[in-house]
């Protein structure tokens, strides 16, 4: 018999490790089954059950029930229905019947003590890893905080608690950031991988989802759904554009996202190590949306070509370089955000072209990869 003290230890493991009691008992049963088979040279149909209250161990042979003697291929594994119904009258053909093994609790106690321990500990570790994996697998797509444990040329390894590590690859790190041992760091969980050492988290600080979750954490109106994010275009470490829309009359989506004196967006910028974040209003009208996306540049006119999905934009001469941005970044992010190819011209250039004279013009193209939401 397994002692009540042992059952108490199981309950303590249940509380400390978070492994459900049912899994602990099942693991113990499997361990004793394995040990009993080896010691008693028993066949594979041995089944062990442990009473979770008393700790008493029961051993059975489980037989497949067949119609008659002609169908018995292995008497160690099969039993005719007439014999099976003497053990359990409700048993029918195709079912299973369990016959108690003639083994004393003293014998079982010795087997359990001598050989089940190692198997049990191994399976308990597996059960613990499964529980921890389940806890972290549900966190994909969320922000978590870890502590920098070590750094290598290819990645930063974070300690996430409970013996779980997260890997922040170089490609997922912000370009201007430097990490130090012991530093607390917010990361976005891309994937949770199951390994023999337990779950390993693949995390990022460059993913658009990281910016989305930061905004949800910092801006109550986004968290509760009053304001929704309709699109994100991001060049991590440099600049991002976020399109927002109000779902409630009277709520200024852009003002809520930026915060009083820019306090909310500045907190996000600080977490992103200085990455600029432009908040723009989403519009159903593509011309208005493109004009808004080119903020902070002033836009005079937008003419859209629905067939080719091109937006022809006119800006003041003095705003041309601002609309395009350094190395074309502002226009490129606007194109990503809206999903439109954007052709930018100055008013002076348009006028010159209309008069038959050469004028200034600029164009940018980017594939649509805005993270659209409804």
The alpha-carbon radius of gyration of the chain (Å, integer) is: 33
> Where is average pLDDT lowest: 40-49, 127-136, 349-358?
349-358
Say how far residue 269 (Cα) sits from the centre of its chain: 24
> Where is average pLDDT lowest: 52-61, 258-267, 356-365?
356-365
Within-domain flag for 211: no
pLDDT at 8: 65
Average pLDDT, the chain: 85
Place of tokens 């409804």: 374
| CATH code of 294's domain | 3.30.300.20
pLDDT at 247: 95
Q: Give the C-alpha separation, 342 to 294, whole Å.
A: 10
Percentage with pLDDT > 70 across the chain: 84
pLDDT at 59: 87
Tell me the pLDDT band of 285, cut-offs 50, 70 and 90: very high
Q: How many CB atoms lie within 10 A of CB 137?
A: 15
* pTM of the predicted protein model: 0.69
Q: Give the C-alpha separation, 48 to 36, whole Å.
A: 9
128 and 224, same domain (yes or no)? no
| CATH code of 120's domain | 3.30.1480.10
Q: Say yes or no to pLDDT of 360 above 90.
A: no
Distances (CA, A) of 195 to 50, 167, 171, 204, 296: 30, 13, 22, 19, 48
278 and 292, same domain (yes or no)? no
pLDDT at 364: 45
What is the per-residue pLDDT across 35-45, written as a single tens digit (0 to 9) for each? 777 776 777 78
For the segment 200-204, the average pLDDT, to the nearest whole number, is: 96
Q: Say yes or no to pLDDT of 324 above 90.
A: yes
Paired strand residues for 344: 313, 362
pLDDT at 369: 39
Domain count, the chain: 4
Q: Give the C-alpha separation, 45 to 49, whole Å.
A: 13
27 and 87, same domain (yes or no)? yes
More confident residue, 9 or 63: 63
Which helix (DSSP H) or strand (DSSP E) does residue 233 occupy?
strand 227-235
Within-domain flag for 213: no
202 and 299, same domain (yes or no)? no
The helix/strand/coil state of 265 is helix
Tell me the pLDDT band of 7, cut-offs 50, 70 and 90: low
pLDDT at 371: 44
Q: How many CB atoms lie within 10 A of CB 234?
A: 25
What is the per-residue pLDDT across 38-69, written as a single tens digit (0 to 9) for each? 776 777 788 888 887 777 788 898 999 999 88
CB-count burial class (<10 Å; 0-12, 13-18, 19+) for 368: middle
8 and 129, same domain (yes or no)? yes
Distances (CA, A) of 110 to 47, 105, 114: 17, 9, 6
| CATH code of 200's domain | 2.40.50.140
Q: Say yes or no to pLDDT of 365 above 60.
A: no
Distances (CA, A) of 233 to 34, 137, 239, 243: 56, 27, 9, 9
29 and 104, same domain (yes or no)? yes
pLDDT at 132: 83
How is residue 33 written in tokens? 């089954």
Q: Say yes or no to pLDDT of 353 above 90.
A: no
pLDDT at 316: 93
Tell me the pLDDT band of 362, cut-offs 50, 70 and 90: very low
> Where is average pLDDT lowest: 110-114, 153-157, 268-272?
110-114
More confident residue, 241 or 4: 241
Domain that holds residue 189: 145-206
């Amino acid at each position: 018999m397994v002692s009540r003290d042992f059952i108490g230890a199981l309950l303590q493991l249940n509380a400390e490790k978070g492994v459900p009691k049912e899994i602990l008992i099942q693991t113990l049963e499997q361990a004793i089954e394995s040990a009993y088979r080896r010691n008693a040279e028993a066949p594979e149909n041995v089944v062990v059950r442990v009473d979770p209250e008393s700790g008493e161990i029961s051993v059975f042979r489980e037989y497949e029930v067949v119609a008659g003697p002609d169908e018995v291929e292995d008497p160690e594994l099969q039993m005719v229905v007439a014999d099976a119904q003497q053990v359990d009258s409700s048993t029918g053909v195709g079912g299973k019947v369990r016959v108690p093994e003639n083994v004393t609790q003293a014998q079982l106690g010795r087997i359990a003590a001598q050989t089940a321990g190692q198997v049990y500990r191994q399976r308990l570790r597996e059960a613990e890893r499964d529980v921890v994996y389940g806890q972290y697998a549900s966190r994909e797509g969320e922000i978590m905080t870890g502590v920098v444990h070590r750094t290598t040329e290819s990645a930063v390894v974070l300690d996430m608690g409970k013996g779980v590590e997260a890997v922040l690859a170089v490609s997922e790190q912000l370009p201007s950031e430097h990490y130090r041992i012991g530093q607390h760091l917010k990361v976005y969980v891309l994937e949770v991988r199951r390994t023999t050492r337990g779950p390993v988290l693949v995390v990022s600080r460059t993913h658009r989802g990281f910016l989305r979750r930061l905004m949800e954490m910092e801006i109550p109106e986004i968290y509760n759904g009053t304001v929704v994010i309709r699109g994100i275009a991001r060049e991590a470490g440099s600049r991002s554009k976020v399109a927002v829309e109000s779902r409630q009359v009277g709520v200024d989506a852009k003002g809520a996202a930026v915060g009083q004196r820019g306090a909310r967006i500045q907190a996000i910028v600080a977490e992103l190590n200085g990455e600029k974040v432009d908040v723009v209003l989403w519009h159903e009208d593509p011309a208005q949306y493109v004009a808004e996306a080119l903020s902070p540049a002033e836009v005079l006119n937008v003419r859209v070509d629905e067939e080719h999905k091109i937006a022809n934009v006119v800006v003041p001469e003095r705003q041309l370089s601002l609309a395009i941005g350094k190395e074309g970044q502002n226009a490129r992010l606007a194109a990503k955000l809206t999903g439109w190819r954007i052709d930018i011209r100055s008013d002076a250039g348009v006028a010159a072209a209309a008069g038959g004279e050469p004028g200034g013009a600029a164009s940018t193209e980017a594939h649509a990869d805005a993270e659209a939401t409804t």
